[in-house]
Amino acid sequence: MSYFRAAGLSVRYDQVRAITDVSVELDEGDIVALIGANGAGKTTTLRAITGLTRLAAGEIVLDGRRIDGLRPDEIVALGVAMVPEGRRVFPYLSVMDNLLMGAFLRRGRRAIAADVERAFERFPRLRERRGQAAGTMSGGEQQMLAIGRALMARPRLLLLDEPSLGLAPMLVQEIARSILAINREDRVSLILVEQNSRMALRVSSRAYALETGRVALEGRSRDLANDDRIRELYLGG
């Protein structure tokens, strides 16, 4: 039985169907990628998982428990955290205060302080800017902060929405290395939404290609990277 299963998800915005019968499975400790063009339904799928968008149909099960219908804060309390597209740090708060906001549901000052230190070890630039207003940092630094903030919730399942968007190639590689380290060292399962399909297929074990709100292809990332349809549509031939 899969650790995480989203089955037959459908979401409507007014009369427009954003996703239709989308199903995604994830084994514990794996990284799954959702790839596809802008508007394919990737972000909507993540928002449905976190309870931010209401389902028209389908069910979502985490570790044997149905979570669809729960409030977003209840889903976070069960170990699900999301890094939203566009980073969305609190721009007028310091780096330190942004990190602490990620632990708002937790108790235990020592454990929280230890996790702040772990975030600084993973992203040394955050330590250098710990007192700086988050909105004054570069896009790459804000992305590191957004990931660090999500990890402060001690998630078992981390959802990443376009973490490489707008970043220089060197920073994309750094984010990719961070994703692998979080998965291996922190033993966090991940669902990665990415338009950078090459990076997504490189770091994930399985992938789903979404097209106009539906799953067009799915399989092992290694196989999809060599699939002619994927290469033509998402990898530039």
CB 12 within 8 A of CB 44: no
Helices (H) and strands (E) in the chain, counts: 10, 10
Is the pTM higher than 0.75? The answer reads yes
- Average pLDDT in the 84-99 region? 90
Token reading at 82: 């999301």
Fold of the domain built from segment(s) 1-79+155-166+173-237: Rossmann fold (3.40.50)
DSSP assigned state of 155? -
**Would you put residue 69 in left (φ > 0), alpha (ψ -120 to 50) or beta?**
left
Tally of CB atoms within 10 A around 71: 9
Domain ranges of the chain: 1-79+155-166+173-237, 89-154
For the four alpha carbons of 20, 42, 18 and 211, in that order, the dihedral sign comes to: negative
What is the spatial distance between Cα 42 and Cα 38, in angstroms, rounded to a whole number?
Answer: 8
Question: Is 38 buried (19+), middle (13-18) or exposed (0-12) by CB count in 10 A?
Answer: exposed
Neighbours of 166 (CB within 10 A): 12
- 25: confidence class by pLDDT, cuts 50, 70, 90: very high
Report the pLDDT value the prediction gives residue 51, as an integer from 0 to 100. 95
Q: Of 198 and 233, which is predicted with more confidence?
A: 198
Per-residue pLDDT averaged across 61-90, rounded?
91
Indicate the helix (H) or strand (E) that contains 150: helix 139-151
Rg (CA), the chain: 17
Of 43-57, 63-77, 95-109, 222-236, least confident by mean pLDDT is 222-236
CA 156 to chain centre: 12
Whether pLDDT at 1 is above 70? no
pLDDT surpassing 70 at residue 185 = yes
Tokens of 125: 């630039």
Per-residue confidence at 209, pLDDT binned at 50, 70, 90? very high
**Cα–Cα distances in angstroms (integers) from residue 148 to residues 49, 60, 125, 145, in the given order:** 20, 26, 12, 5
On whether the CB atoms of residues 99 and 131 are closer than 8 A, the answer is no
